[in-house]
């Protein structure tokens, strides 16, 4: 737009091409008003009123300005002593580098710097350090240890600990984590050096972890580290790569042994109850037989006592009854021949042998079990009543 063209602000004498065009909005600021205000402000710091003839200002209060600035700075310096101890933290207050107190969680105040200073360690947090073998092919690896059976093993373990004394944790050593790692590695080397590699790789891990934890805690307590070791976890224990195939064979053989042992236990669980039952049955039968024999002996003893008492009262009658009963038992199972006193047979009494059925069924009647009587060939027997007992006695002899 040429400079000669009229502007759009309606002023015919204004040839500014950047003037306000017709219909444009009025700007939110006024350049002329801003200029007048700046002139008034410049007159305050000048020796008199501005060229526009503004009012003069009294400078008597300016000598108080440095004191006000110093007072504000002192106020901010004093307010810098306010601090907050968060949950799980403890505030260790140092005065000129010396510990003077412990602050619990909450709002507190200390002397501003450089008089006092506060450290806020977290004592409720469980901290963890992973030490030992890192997997790198390094001949100076800190996780490579020697066992009691002269085997080399790569060990990787973790230390879980908490801060119990904030002052000791901060100032007992320049690097608390480094002290804890040195103590834990020393304890692990000591325990591994007393253990066999089989215990380290199999079922002995629990005992090794407990021993390492105890030794590490004793060392840290001696150094006043201000920490408590919660646990030692053995993450990995592997043999060196050059002997890993041999160790794999050993592990496989151990698994086969465990499987065979489990099978043997299963067989024992199946056989032992059966044998126990049979043994119990044998013991029960033996006890029953024992009781039967004892009862029979007691009965025989009682019967003998009764016979003895009867014999003492009448010996002749008892002797004759015992004789007849004995002869009855003997002659009841043998063939019998009745002869005369001269030795000639008169009657033959055939006594057939008892069958097992006849012996085993005592309920059969006497008529069924009575032996049949057979008569000898026709000889007219003439039996003398006087000679009969002698014949019978001769036959029994």
**More confident position, 253 or 133:** 253
**More confident position, 261 or 68:** 261
To 10 degrees, the CA torsion angle through 65, 67, 73, 75?
-120
Predicted local confidence at residue 214, as pLDDT: 93
Predicted local confidence at residue 50, as pLDDT: 44
Q: Mapped to the 3 state alphabet, what secondary structure does 97-141 carry?
A: CEEEEEECCEEEECCCCCCEEEECCECCCCEEEEEECCCCCCCCC
Q: How many CB atoms lie within 10 A of CB 180?
A: 24
Coil vs helix vs strand at 168: helix
Is-contact 105 85, C-beta < 8 A?
yes
- Specify burial of residue 159 (Cβ count, 10 A radius: 0-12, 13-18, 19+): buried
- What is the mean predicted confidence (pLDDT) over 204-210? 87
- What is the mean predicted confidence (pLDDT) over 253-273? 90
Compute the distance between CA of residue 41 and CA of residue 246 in angstroms, rounded to an integer.
93
- Whether residue 82 is predicted with pLDDT greater than 60 in this model: the reply is yes
DSSP calls for 20-42: PPTTPPPPSS-HHHHHHHHHHHH
Which pTM value belongs to this model?
0.47
Mean pLDDT is lowest, of 8-17, 31-40, 226-235, 345-354, for: 8-17
Mean pLDDT is lowest, of 224-238, 247-261, 374-388, for: 374-388
Is-contact 17 1, C-beta < 8 A?
yes
pLDDT in tens, 113-135: 888 888 888 888 888 988 887 65
- What is the mean predicted confidence (pLDDT) over 83-99? 83
- What is the mean predicted confidence (pLDDT) over 366-394? 39
Q: Tokens for 174, please give them.
A: 């320049």
- Phi (first) and psi of residue 76, to 5 degrees: -65, -35
Mean pLDDT is lowest, of 39-48, 64-73, 77-86, 120-129, for: 39-48
């Amino acid at each position: 737009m040429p400079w000669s063209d009229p502007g759009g602000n309606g002023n015919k004498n204004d040839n500014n091409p950047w003037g306000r065009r017709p219909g444009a909005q009025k700007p939110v600021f006024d350049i002329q008003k801003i200029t007048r205000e700046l002139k008034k402000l410049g007159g305050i710091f000048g020796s008199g009123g501005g060229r526009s003839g503004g009012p003069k200002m009294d400078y008597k209060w300016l000598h108080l300005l440095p004191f006000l600035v110093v007072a504000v700075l002192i106020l901010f310096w004093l307010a810098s002593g306010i601090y907050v101890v968060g949950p799980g933290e403890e505030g260790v207050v140092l005065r000129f580098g010396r510990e003077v107190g412990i602050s619990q969680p909450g709002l507190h105040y200390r002397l501003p710097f450089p008089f006092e200073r506060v450290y806020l360690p977290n004592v409720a947090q469980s901290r963890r350090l992973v030490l030992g073998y890192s997997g790198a092919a390094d001949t100076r690896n800190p996780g490579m240890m020697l066992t009691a059976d002269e085997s080399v093993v790569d060990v990787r373990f973790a230390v879980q600990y908490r801060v119990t004394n904030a002052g000791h944790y901060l100032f007992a050593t320049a690097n608390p984590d480094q002290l804890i790692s040195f103590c834990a590695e020393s304890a692990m080397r000591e325990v591994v050096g007393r253990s066999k590699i089989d215990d380290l790789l199999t079922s002995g891990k629990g005992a090794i972890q407990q021993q390492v934890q105890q030794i590490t805690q004793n060392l840290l307590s001696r150094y006043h580290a201000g920490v408590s070791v919660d646990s030692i976890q053995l993450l990995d224990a592997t043999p060196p790569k050059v002997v890993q195939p041999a160790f794999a064979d050993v592990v496989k053989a151990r698994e086969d042994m465990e499987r065979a042992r489990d099978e043997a236990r299963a067989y024992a669980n199946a056989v032992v109850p059966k044998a126990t039952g049979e043994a119990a049955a044998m013991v029960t039968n033996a006890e029953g037989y024992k009781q039967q024999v004892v009862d029979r002996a007691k009965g025989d003893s009682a019967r003998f006592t009764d016979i003895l008492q009867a014999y003492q009262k009448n010996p002749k009658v008892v002797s004759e009854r015992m004789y007849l009963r004995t002869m009855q038992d003997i002659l009841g199972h043998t063939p019998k021949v009745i002869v005369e006193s001269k030795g000639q047979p008169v009657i033959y009494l055939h006594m057939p042998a008892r069958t097992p059925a006849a012996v085993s069924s005592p309920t059969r009647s006497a008529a069924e079990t009575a032996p049949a009587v057979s008569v000898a060939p026709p000889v007219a027997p003439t039996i003398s009543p006087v000679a009969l007992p002698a014949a019978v006695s001769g036959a029994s002899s």
